[in-house]
């Protein structure tokens, strides 16, 4: 019997309608379009005005089920990569099961910040490869507007809201996820953290007054680690799997900063046409960036294409996934 691999057989995204552009941000904090565009590559981002992370995830999941002609009750498992869960508990995955009618699935949230989607995808892959499950949904969803301080110009210009979902199914043609490398370094919490709201600093009037429930980032430090680690891990996964730059059809990078994306693709020796980029319209949606890229570029993907997914985020967490695309749209 041929080996079972886990292949992505569909992708769907959801972004809220409201567009927060650089112009509007310039009226909220001391910033300007030129600075944001030249330092990050972002022109606008989407903001969820009503609803929660589970609502964005549910929209993506319902769209995915429809598009792939899959019955909600046939889903075995859902993993939601997120740092903006609806509640500390129950998990957003539990809520999405309820809202999307995944009556036979179980699920859990996976918190790996901007690496949430690749961590979740790699985890989900195991349940398919072992033959245990036939249909697993992996979601990357974050409503960053709920944890971003719109008085802090160093963070509020970067983030946006959005969700993406993929369906994973068994494949016997050798397509789908081939390999992954996942890494972390918890010492990175010094530079990128949401200080209050957990067991270190439970929410209180004082933590709110000090604005400690918002994302704090030392941008320059995070940038240095991100550039090095995302480029290194992307080069390593190519090396480990004997892939040359000619063998790689697409880089699907986490969308944190166009300069980090450029550094990664240069290190891999890839030309610009092979790099998925949508940071200009969504900003950094944390766990959402990679599935949203796949959604935007789906029509250009061909069966058998070689993709490298690569991310770096809070934790620090980082990693790369090597996969072969399994279908033509």
When the beta carbons of 70 and 194 are compared against ligand UT7, the nearer one is: 194
Binding mask 226-245 for ligand UT7 (x = CB under 6 A): x-------------------
From the list 34-42, 92-100, 262-270, 274-282, the region that binds ligand UT7 by CB under 6 A is: 34-42
Residue 208: CA atoms inside 13 Å, Cβ hemisphere, count?
A: 3
**Counting contacts by CB under 6 A, is residue 220 touching ligand UT7?**
yes
- Quick check: 35 binds ligand UT7 (CB under 6 A)? yes
User: Closer to ligand UT7 at the Cβ: 70 or 285?
Assistant: 285
Q: Which two tokens stand for residue 259?
A: 């300069």
In sequence order, which residues have a C-beta less than 8 Å from that of residue 120 and are 6 or more positions away?
79, 80, 81, 110, 112, 138, 139, 140, 287
Site for ligand UT7 in 63-92 (CB under 6 A): none
Residue 284 is among the residues annotated as catalytic for this protein: yes
34 burial level (CB within 10 Å; 0-12, 13-18, 19+): exposed
Considering only CA atoms, which of 44, 303, 284, 82 is closest in space to residue 173?
303
Between CA 161 and CA 144 the distance in angstroms is 6
Select the residue whose beta carbon is closest to ligand UT7 and give its number. Answer: 219
Our answer to whether residue 33 is catalytic in this structure is: no
Q: Which residues pair with 317 in a beta bridge?
A: 184, 313
State whether residue 68 is helix, strand or coil.
Answer: coil
Q: Does 111 qualify as catalytic in the annotation?
A: no
Rg (Cα) of the chain, in Å, rounded? 19
Number of residues engaging ligand UT7 in binding (CB under 6 A):
21
Minimal distance, residue 264 CB to ligand UT7, in Å: 11
* Beta bridge mates, 14: 163
Restricting to residues 141-180, name those near ligand UT7 by CB under 6 A: 153-154, 157-158
The minimum distance between CB 189 and ligand UT7, in angstroms, equals 13
Q: Which stretch binds ligand UT7 (CB under 6 A): 58-66, 215-223, 233-241, 267-275?
A: 215-223
Min CB(113)–ligand UT7 separation in Å: 6
Q: Is 251 helix (H, G, I), strand (E, B) or coil?
A: strand
Pairing of strands 161-171, 5-14: antiparallel
Q: Closer CB to ligand UT7, residue 33 or residue 104?
A: 33
**What Cα–Cα distance (Å) separates residue 172 from each residue in 129, 138, 148?**
10, 20, 44
Residue 25 or 80 with smaller CB distance to ligand UT7:
25
Nearer to ligand UT7, 176 or 313 (CB): 313
- Kindly identify the residues of this chain, within the stretch 293-312, that bind ligand UT7 according to CB under 6 A: 312
Residue of the chain from 256, 268, 293, 294 that contacts ligand UT7 (CB under 6 A): 256
How many Å from the N-terminal Cα to the C-terminal Cα in the chain?
Answer: 28
Q: What are phi and psi of 87, to 5 degrees?
A: -140, 160
DSSP 8-state class, residue 159:
B
Taking CB under 6 A as the criterion, the residue among 313, 320, 325, 326 binding ligand UT7 is 313
Phi and psi at residue 79, to the nearest 5°: -115, 130
Q: Which is nearer to ligand UT7, 226 or 275 (CB)?
A: 226
- Residue 317 has φ and ψ, to the nearest 5°, of -130, 145
Contacts with ligand UT7, residue ranges (CB under 6 A): 31, 35-36, 39-40, 114, 153-154, 157-158, 219-220, 222-223, 226, 256-257, 260, 284, 312-313
Active site (catalytic) residues: 114, 254, 284
């Amino acid at each position: 019997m041929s080996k079972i691999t886990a292949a992505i057989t569909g992708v769907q995204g959801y972004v809220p309608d409201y567009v927060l552009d650089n112009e509007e941000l310039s009226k909220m904090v001391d910033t300007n379009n030129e600075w944001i565009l030249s330092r990050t590559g972002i022109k606008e981002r989407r903001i969820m005005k009503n609803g929660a992370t589970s609502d964005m995830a549910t929209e993506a999941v319902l769209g995915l089920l429809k598009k792939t002609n899959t019955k909600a009750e046939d889903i075995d498992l859902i993993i939601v990569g997120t740092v903006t869960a609806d509640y500390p508990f129950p998990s957003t995955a539990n809520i999405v099961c309820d809202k999307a009618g995944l009556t036979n699935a179980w699920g859990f949230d996976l918190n790996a910040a901007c690496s949430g989607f690749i961590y979740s995808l790699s985890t989900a892959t195991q349940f398919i490869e072992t033959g245990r499950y036939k249909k697993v949904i992996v979601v990357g969803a974050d409503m960053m507007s709920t944890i971003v301080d719109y008085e802090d110009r160093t963070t509020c210009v970067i983030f946006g809201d959005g969700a993406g979902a993929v369906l994973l199914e068994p494949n016997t043609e050798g397509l789908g996820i081939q390999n992954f490398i996942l890494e972390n370094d918890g010492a990175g919490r010094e530079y990128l953290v949401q200080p209050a709201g957990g067991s270190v600093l439970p929410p209180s009037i004082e933590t709110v007054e000090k604005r400690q429930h918002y994302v704090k980032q030392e941008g320059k430090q995070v940038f240095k680690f991100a550039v090095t680690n995302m480029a290194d891990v992307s080069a390593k996964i190519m090396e480990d799997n004997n892939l040359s730059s000619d063998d790689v059809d697409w880089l699907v990078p986490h969308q944190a900063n166009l300069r980090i994306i450029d550094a990664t693709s240069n290190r891999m020796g890839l030309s610009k046409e092979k790099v998925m980029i949508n940071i200009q319209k969504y900003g950094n949606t944390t766990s959402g960036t990679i599935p949203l890229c796949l959604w935007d570029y789906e029509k250009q993907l061909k069966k058998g294409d070689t993709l490298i997914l690569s991310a770096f985020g809070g934790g620090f967490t980082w990693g790369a996934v090597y996969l072969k695309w399994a279908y033509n749209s």
